[in-house]
Amino acid sequence: MIKDPALRLQNYLVFGEFGEVNPSISDSSTFTFLTSEKMTELFEAEIEGCFLYSRHLNPSTNYLAEALALMENTEAAIVTGSGMAAISSTILQICSAGDEIISGRTIYGGSYALMKNFLPKLNINTHFVNILDLDEIKSKINKNTKIIYCEAISNPLLEVADIVELRKIADKHNIKLIVDNTFSPMMLQPYNFGAHIVVHSLTKFINGASDCVGGAICADKEFIASLRNVNDGATMLLGPVLDSLRASSILKNLRTLHIRMHQHSKNAMFVAENLEKLGLKVIYPGLASHPQHNFIKTLLSSGYGFGGMITFDAKTKETADKLLIMLQERNVGYFAVSLGFYKTLFSAPGSSTSSEIPKEEQEQMGLSDGLVRFSVGLDNNIEETFEIIKQSLKDLGLIK
């Protein structure tokens, strides 16, 4: 079996209607039938190669889903209109009123807000825990627990979840383990280590162009089929559809993901190592100072490094804000949320992508006001870029 996700994708051959190297785009919302019997049959169960309605399934979105399933080594996948649509659809497919979720506390702010503020309206409640503390996780499990949720590499503190041990806990209590792999596509395959379901924001590294929003759910065939069920499937009935034109565009970008992840990681390692040498407190899984540095090496696919995300402490929110504006003015990158773009993107997560998390909880998890998050870009001369960063730090008095 081919283990390298890039090789698995390279061996995925799909041709257009007239033999094009890119698959034809199915720009249609509905599909014809030659017999009434076949339409009736398709309403009752999926049929290979048959399409009903693009909210259910479309050839173009299916091509992308098949490629993502290969990348994550799952049996099947489905794509959605956003990463949040993937997360919410997955949870709502599993949970009903009265059920409970155990979630890592250091997760994307939108995911946190969904579980903290929105799902309780449906009487679905969440216990937020230190995902590295297995005893705390076990203590929160009861007869109503249906999901353990975490990020493979957490946003923004870059904690590395022990997926193997989490799966053991999940199996013991008949719980589903959902892992968000948005920060670490290609470099890490959570399904291989025990995740039942892997979710993605395609918006980020996978697409890599910051020109669209999309999501994906990768799992076994049974779960993906349940999502599309015309009677009670979450993606079928909630309708988080990814447009076929967008799906085709993301599929083209997916083909260069292995090259991009390698360069993101190479540049991030350079920036992280040199920031640490300057005396800053840096969080990056590739550094020996990272608490899970040795552990993550047991999970990584060869050749893709430790990822493109780093964080460091600029001490205060005021200093962080000044730094980020200065870096944008000096053309290091963009002061913007999101990640995975060809240019470096930077923000202060405490007041942006993690702002949904209350201040007292940010403090408990170690998310300081001055924390700066870098999604390091694809710069060809990262040494030159770093010199600009270094001078900016000096100008603000963060280093001598």
What is the predicted pLDDT for the residue at 357?
65
Closest alpha carbon to 14 in 65, 52, 56: 65
Question: Which pLDDT value is given to residue 1?
Answer: 47
Q: With left for phi above 0 and alpha for psi between -120 and 50, is residue 21 left, alpha or beta?
A: alpha
| CATH number for region 258-395 | 3.90.1150.10
Q: Which residue ranges in the chain fall short of pLDDT 50?
A: 1
CATH topology of domain 5-254: Aspartate Aminotransferase; domain 2 (3.40.640)
| 258-395 has the same fold as 5-254 | no
Asked if 167 contacts 147 with a C-beta cutoff of 8 angstroms, the reply is no
Amino acid sitting at position 128: F
Question: Taking the CB of residue 20, how many other CB atoms lie within 10 A of it?
Answer: 10
State how far the Cα of 282 lies from the Cα of 311, in Å rounded to an integer: 6
Q: What is the pLDDT of residue 350?
A: 56
Task: Round to whole Å and give the CA distance between 75 and 196.
Answer: 11
Strand order in the sheet with 344-347: 282-283, 309-313, 371-375, 344-347, 333-335
Q: What is the pLDDT of residue 15?
A: 77
- The pLDDT, as a whole number, for residue 85 is 98
For the chain, the structural domain boundaries read 5-254, 258-395
